[in-house]
Chain A
């Protein structure tokens, strides 16, 4: 891998550059959706600091939390790690009247690697998953992705569930959830339900969470057998938002061809994407540099990224392709196959 493909984290602060910037009349795509969007009349950037007043509730049980959210409806916002929410409060971009702090609820954290399943409580701190014994060896993509999430201080507080519920299109967990077929457990006024990641992640900061619903945990399928994975990200500096990021997982069959492949990207559109066309293209074929390039092109064809101060859509699309090639090469290398020298 070129020394310069930065494996750098999305700041899980979750503030997209755009959401701190002037919402503009021609940039509807950049606005935060409801319920805590800025006022409907678009206004230029005004400097604001210190959170606006809110009522603070710290429920001790899930039932209490659900009840509180149900009671206050649109006026309330749940807070997990706060690494995304507090900056929005601090800049007065989010103005809930009620904050429901979930941190006092027991039983919602915990990371467990059990056979082929990684079980995570929603309130599990990112850092705890990062340091879960055996996880890096078992599925480097997960740990490499988490290492991109800001810096240690952010990961000590930020939670897996918070990242998924916030659904920043540049959040690494959204790519991991898609790539690893995550099943997400939700609890709300209507009871409990489970939703696959592909249904959970809808758009910018928009998920399938209904009014009063909370994400309580998730399960991801961790590959076994002859597989390798990799998470690569390009960001301006260590810890910044991904310009684009790729999680690649490849399982090789008995002959060393691609058995199964997962390719998921962040930073390239309104939500993380898993590019089925690329995955299909990879299956059954010899893992060569040419194949990776084909897959990269297939990915690029599917992408509709945005432009912002850091990168234009074209650039994002271009580097997404570069990262796909490099990530696949590394993943295949880790699976024990392919052109070793194709690894980035």
Chain B
């Protein structure tokens, strides 16, 4: 069926236009990773629960495993690669996660970072309860979350300092 065939898909990711080919059925996360080579976003469950695939679409978090690539055309996407382009210093959230040992294997980390970016925009000084509640949609098997919470607090502090 011709209508199911691959077509060109143009996505704006991290401010840059990318062109690729995909069948309509290809998920956004697969397209980002396999077609565009942006492998920072990870596949964890493919049913929207673990949060490893979380990116920002028009500034809001979405599960890229729950969108089709074609649906993302015309939107602004932001992935972990956009937080701090290659030769630039780390984004405060990245800095905070490293400083506070908020990652171990690093697989869930990109999803967390994007969720934290949205969280801090919504609430620049979140309480521990808010952090734990807001981040309960990102699963980590390594850290036990303790240091992730610390990292978010510290990221909030760094972000406030930068804004001041």
Within 8 A of A (CB), among B78-130: 115, 118
Apart from A55-B3, A156-B60: 11 A-B pairs, beta carbons within 8 A = A11-B48, A13-B48, A50-B27, A55-B1, A82-B66, A99-B24, A103-B71, A150-B137, A151-B136, A154-B137, A157-B66
Within 8 A of B (CB), among A101-115: 101, 103
* Nearest CB in chain B to that of A153: its residue: B61
The 8 Å CB contact of A86, one of B1, B66, B118, is B66
Q: Does B131 contact A (CB under 8 A)?
A: no
Q: Does B65 contact A (CB under 8 A)?
A: yes
- The proximity string for B residues 34-77 relative to A, scoring 1 for CB distances below 8 Å and 0 otherwise, is 00000000000011110100100100111101111011000000
Q: Are B54 and A49 in contact (CB under 8 A)?
A: no
Q: Are B67 and A90 in contact (CB under 8 A)?
A: no
Within 8 A of B (CB), among A191-207: none
Could you say which residues of chain B place their CB within 8 Å of the CB of A238?
A: 133, 136
- Shortest Cβ gap from B73 to chain A (Å): 9
Could you say which residues of chain B place their CB within 8 Å of the CB of A101?
A: 68, 70-71
Could you say which residues of chain A place their CB within 8 Å of the CB of B54?
A: 153
Q: Does B23 contact A (CB under 8 A)?
A: yes
Q: Are B63 and A157 in contact (CB under 8 A)?
A: yes
Q: Are B1 and A82 in contact (CB under 8 A)?
A: no
Q: Does B18 contact A (CB under 8 A)?
A: no
Within 8 A of B (CB), among A208-241: 237-239
Q: Are A56 and B137 in contact (CB under 8 A)?
A: no
Q: Does A127 contact B (CB under 8 A)?
A: yes
- Shortest Cβ gap from A231 to chain B (Å): 16
Known A-B contacts A13-B48, A238-B136; A51 and B4 likewise in contact (beta carbons under 8 Å) = no
Q: What are the nearest 9 A-B pairs in CB distance?
A: A151-B137, A56-B24, A55-B3, A153-B61, A53-B4, A51-B25, A87-B47, A238-B136, A156-B60
Cα distance A303–B87 in the bound complex, in angstroms: 61
The 8 Å CB contact of A151, one of B3, B4, B25, B51, is B51
Q: Does A315 contact B (CB under 8 A)?
A: no
Q: Are A54 and B25 in contact (CB under 8 A)?
A: yes
- Shortest Cβ gap from B29 to chain A (Å): 10
Q: Are A153 and B62 in contact (CB under 8 A)?
A: yes
Which of A54, A103, A237 is packed against the most chain B CB atoms within 10 Å? A54
Known A-B contacts A87-B47, A151-B51, A153-B115; A237 and B70 likewise in contact (beta carbons under 8 Å) = no
The 8 Å CB contact of B4, one of A54, A86, A89, A153, is A54
Could you say which residues of chain A place their CB within 8 Å of the CB of B49?
A: 11, 13
Interface residues of B (CB under 8 A from A): 1, 3-4, 23-25, 27, 30, 46-49, 51, 54, 57, 60-63, 65-68, 70-71, 115, 118, 133-134, 136-137
- Shortest Cβ gap from A147 to chain B (Å): 9
Q: Does A58 contact B (CB under 8 A)?
A: yes
Q: Are B63 and A239 in contact (CB under 8 A)?
A: no
Cα distance A20–B46 in the bound complex, in angstroms: 13
Q: Does A25 contact B (CB under 8 A)?
A: no
The 8 Å CB contact of B137, one of A83, A153, A157, is A153
- Shortest Cβ gap from B106 to chain A (Å): 20
Could you say which residues of chain A place their CB within 8 Å of the CB of B68?
A: 56, 82, 86, 99, 101
Q: Are B27 and A90 in contact (CB under 8 A)?
A: yes
Q: Does A152 contact B (CB under 8 A)?
A: yes
Q: Are B136 and A53 in contact (CB under 8 A)?
A: no
Q: Are A152 and B71 in contact (CB under 8 A)?
A: no
* Nearest CB in chain A to that of B54: its residue: A153
Could you say which residues of chain B place their CB within 8 Å of the CB of A153?
A: 48, 51, 54, 60-63, 115, 137
Q: Does A15 contact B (CB under 8 A)?
A: yes
Cα distance A89–B63 in the bound complex, in angstroms: 15
Known A-B contacts A90-B46, A153-B137; A50 and B25 likewise in contact (beta carbons under 8 Å) = yes
